[in-house]
Structure 1
Amino acid sequence: MRKIIQFPFVWILTGVILLGLSGFMTQKLLVDSQGILSIMLALAGGFVSIAIYWLVIKFMAGRKVQELQLRGAGIEWALGAGIGLIFIGVSVGIITMFGGYNFTWSATNAVGSIWALAIGAAIVEELIFRGLFLQAVEKRLGSWFALAITSLFFGLAHLPNPEATLWSSIAIVIEAGILLGAGFLWRRNLWFVIGLHFAWNALEGMLGIPVSGIATQGFFDVQLSGPPWLTGGSFGLEASIIPVILSLLIAIPMLINAHHKGNIKIKR
């Protein structure tokens, strides 16, 4: 029975199902909530998801959960969030400089809901893709295959989103799958990539830019001007070529540092 439970397919599938249910239930609770209540519910749902992940890794995969250790968690989260803010801020700034975005102040906003959705997406998606998938594939095939495979599936997972296209999914493979995967390989810490992912989605939403095709009601209304390859079109910033390029400029140094730290595992 222990061998069956510790078989990767079994504990990965169990983790994905339980985390998916946790995320689904949290989203259902968020539908009728606003403001600080929605943020508190999202944090509670995130706590449940983290507990599920810890239990699956500890008692089914049978290993220590080093990637979620509490010591230094705040620093790792803040570092990731800082990089996420810079990444999105610079991307938006370049597109605006070329005339792609024009911002006007919005009379209403739903920042509480934006933060709540960003919290839920960051925690559940990182626990599944960088927590369960990447490390399981890495153990069998090495870091490079794990990075490539999980990045591909991360892009495909966003294909059903509103306004998604083949290009938007390819862009997410590069700018999100590779960047977040590189961040995990560099830091070997899920708090770091959760912080990066959260800041990415939250800043986009607060600026009123669609987050992976999902419309947001932030502090601004955004008018697009120019080709979709620059602005990302109705899908949002992720479908612009600008963050694709910038993400590689961030991910490559991360991977170099991961190699120097001995965090890249190669199967021979």
Structure 2
Amino acid sequence: MLGKILTGLLLVASSTSVMASPWEKVKTPTVGESKSIGSYANGCLAGGEMLPLQGEGYQVIRAERGRYYGNHEMITFLKELMKTSQQLKIGNVLVGDIAMPRGGRFSSGHASHQTGLDADIWLRIPEKPLTQKQLKSVSALPMVDVKNYKIIEKNWGTKQAQLIQLAASDDRVARIFVHPVIKEQLCKTKWKDRDWLRKVRPWFGHYYHFHVRLNCPEGSQYCEPQTPPPPGDGCGKELASWSPDYQKPASNKPAVKPKPKPKPVLPAQCHVVIDS
């Protein structure tokens, strides 16, 4: 029924407030097929699917937040990724935020994670599953000394690199966000195949986890894809430009004051999702 309603609606302008988020009050997903609607940072999720809090090779952390829902494609991807990582003896992977039951905007913490196609995976990788007591108190393990812009060698290792490679090599993945220093470590490693490095994008803040973003599933009428990453492995000038020591080339062009970004317009289908 929801699918018919979504199909019959057109996108219309409707302003939404970043501060007020009714999505956080909704505790159940809608019934029906998974549909990611809108863009990763301005959209919602119909037919959200729950990732079981524990499965082969993984556990969900901070489950009390209720952010373990995603598009069917994401839930399938995570289960398969963790199963493979278990077979490769990488360790027990900790899954962080995916999306709320119907996706949508968070009042704080995330700009994206709105369509059920984003997921955070911690880089602290225990050798075995944590107890329920440990799950409640486990803390993030930083891989980067952010102040000094360098890797923390005692925390970073082969299993972290392998897990990122395993995820990025999947055709369903559009991008993976990591701290620039982590990207630098991956670039230094001698890989037989380096094509997947193109998807690994530097982004500050991702120093203790990596952020997986999937492509819009095939046949997703209302899902807005992101522009593909530029060609190459991204290990050259682009990565160097993130360094605090980087000096921008001099330009003769006059400085232009950036225009203020317009408020995001929520797709009309999302009003149906939250009200249904």
After TM superposition, the score normalised by the length of structure 2 is 0.27
Which structure: larger Rg?
2
After TM superposition, the score normalised by the length of structure 1 is 0.28
Bigger helix fraction? 1
Bigger strand fraction? 2
